[in-house]
Chain A
């Protein structure tokens, strides 16, 4: 059985697509069963016909539409809506598509401020900061896909691990809906939680965590949160370690920052994390700032411009 796929990237970085390529030799197997009808990163199918002759956007119909990236400008919105109308199933690939991802950090600022800063840096020549077609106008906010079109399958992760992509694709080829873990990063983390110790403050990640010797396995190292580092493991969806399970940042002895998005699809990692810290007696004011707790989930109107923060942040 062959499944037709149309793939697009919107407000994205291409990491999700490269993670697909990182299936390695499994990719060659998948390609036996998948027929791409549109995928700009690999294939020269054009939006308006091969010589630009068609008046309207025209992406062929497909069984599955895979979209990475959120929606930041008018072109993204148009392509997302068009793919929705051409595909039976829409997959939101990666945290930008499911929750806004890193680019939705921009939602802390009015869109004019973005343009203003980007086009007045110290090396930039004077310019009117006005753009003309075909450059698409920016929308007011960076949104997740499901704020604009219906989404059937969510595959969060920045990027999603190739092992997870492989099982999701295999499920789709078998006509099943891919399932995601309902656990948190902490639930899959091998480090040692002693549950004791009177932590009252968090430290910034300015030194490496403590462990006995360079080769000490992770299941002998103490939990990073218990060592006093902010780690988003408790509120972040599990799965980043792929088949090996161990969360990827923890494997490098670095705390989690939440790139798989909230454990519950519509959770708010900032509120959940602040609550968890406060109920454990940790002074949340020891954190240098809060928007970073929404580093990957700033869409769905969770991050907004705040007048007070904008005033405080004046260049020296």
Chain B
């Protein structure tokens, strides 16, 4: 007899989502989908607000990656008002974003994802979580908590607020960095780099090996990828050109101001979140997991796939090893976790580079700003993917129109595909239990939505 299994809510992710799995009479999976359950309406309610205030409003889209919204928004408003922040301000913004990336990846890996591997995908829900990890591995837990917290407190100490930041301002940054700040943060980031290298090594030797087969099979789909690269084709989280790669590895690049020519957003009645797709490929949108159309993925694995290289030495060495093992583009969904830890190394190395440049302490951090009518698109690579804020302003500099493409949403369509693939491959004859359903959720968790 056919029936519907509803996993509600999906847990250890940010936000409200559920999975519906439809079984046919024989108990085989006919269809599966991911529902995104909430809508707050930022695209509407920032209308009429002074544009310079918006970077500290849209940060509330996400409390895990508020710096990303804050900075993409600042870049969009800079452009509306036609102002270029001074070099030190650009560096400070980029530094804050890079440290936020470093903190975020530790949070996701250890607090949200690791339990599936460290405690095990079939363990009871009461222990399959970070609290379970803390009990089973108290020393590791203490170290993780201390390192992540340290990174977070750098942001609070220097920039006032770590969650829902305010220090990015139209035209630049709200305060300059002092030499003593620079030295202190540099020391902290060097320590964090050591920890990032430890984490990657720990994951490669202790966490992933028993699951290599699962990694190569669970939720695996074939899609394109999106990410930001610099002029030389190297990974860049803060700025650059958007590279859109097809499943076969060929790619086009574009300036984010032109994003609307390349990307479309598809709507399904079972999800409040829109599903971006590659309009430019002219193949439409299709969620058939054996023949997806228009579908590409964002976030860590995507960025490593589209980038030709990474500009920092340790992360580059890791990328080479990763490519050697899994090819380019790598398609296996659970590799997102591995790619995330390589990016963690890059984020630490890059923060150190930024801090080693004394020019970051230049006291000139804000350009003169006049409100005016304009249009501006700002983007950064958020941990969860390419984040795009697009605003128009009136003569008084108030927002008249906003369009947002949020990092996570790029992966909504792929999540649907991965969930379908995972459900079809592990649910048979109507038999389900906690562990099997958790494996289906793992296909979502890899995307860190």
Contact = CB atoms under 8 A, between A and B. Distances in A.
- The yes or no verdict on A and B being binding partners is yes
Interface of A: 9, 11-19, 21-22, 24-25, 27-28, 31, 36, 40-48, 50-52, 72-73, 75, 101-103, 105-106, 108-109, 113-119, 121-125, 127-132, 134-136, 138, 142, 158-159, 204-208, 213-215, 248-254, 257, 259, 288-289, 291-292, 295, 309, 313, 315-316
B49 interface: yes
B6 interface: yes
B52 A206 contact: yes
Contact of A15 (B60, B152, B160, B171): B60
A105 B160 contact: no
18 contacts: A9-B16, A14-B64, A15-B62, A15-B63, A18-B63, A21-B111, A25-B145, A43-B12, A46-B7, A52-B5, A105-B57, A106-B40, A106-B41, A117-B43, A123-B405, A132-B269, A204-B50, A248-B166
Given A15-B63, A114-B44, 7 more contacts: A24-B146, A51-B432, A118-B39, A128-B269, A206-B170, A214-B363, A313-B47
Contacts of B425: none
B328 interface: no
A26 B284 CA distance: 51
B169 A13 contact: no
B20 A134 contact: yes
A182 B263 CA distance: 50
Interface string B249-264: 0000000000110011
Contacts of B266: 125
B1 to A, nearest CB: 15
B167 interface: yes
Contact of B365 (A142, A208, A213): A208
A215 B18 CA distance: 50
A114 B394 CA distance: 20
B386 to A, nearest CB: 13
B-side interface size class: 35 or more
A130 B269 contact: yes
A104 to B, nearest CB: 9
Contact of A135 (B56, B272, B373): B272
A17 B63 contact: yes
Interface in B395-449: 396-398, 400-401, 403, 405, 432-434, 437-438, 441
Interface in B1-20: 5-9, 11-16, 18, 20
A136 B392 CA distance: 31
A108 B270 CA distance: 27
B45 A108 contact: yes
A312 to B, nearest CB: 8
B142 A25 contact: yes
Most chain B CB inside 10 Å of its own CB: which residue of A13, A116, A121, A130? A13
A113 B370 CA distance: 30
A128 B365 CA distance: 47
Contacts of B36: 135
B6 A48 contact: yes
3 nearest interchain CB pairs? A15-B63, A252-B160, A24-B149
Interface stretch (B127-135, B194-202, B235-243): B127-135
B216 interface: no
A44 B146 contact: no
A121 B60 contact: no
Contacts of B125: 43-46, 50
Contacts of A289: 48-50, 398
Contacts of A18: 63-64, 107, 163
B142 A121 contact: no
Given A14-B15, A292-B49, A31 B265 contact: no
B60 A208 contact: no
B377 to A, nearest CB: 11
B400 A315 contact: yes
B129 A253 contact: no
A130 B7 CA distance: 23
Contacts of A106: 40-41, 44-45
A262 B370 CA distance: 31
Contacts of A132: 269-270
Most chain B CB inside 10 Å of its own CB: which residue of A21, A72, A130? A21
Interface in B133-182: 134, 141-142, 145-146, 149, 152-153, 156, 159-164, 166-167, 169-171, 174-176, 178
Contact of A41 (B11, B56, B369, B438): B11
A142 B142 CA distance: 39
Contact of A22 (B35, B162, B164): B162
Contacts of A309: 48
Given A114-B44, A134-B20, A159-B63, A28 B35 contact: no
A119 B176 CA distance: 41
Contact of B60 (A13, A24, A44): A13
Contacts of A51: 5, 432-434, 437
A284 B161 CA distance: 28
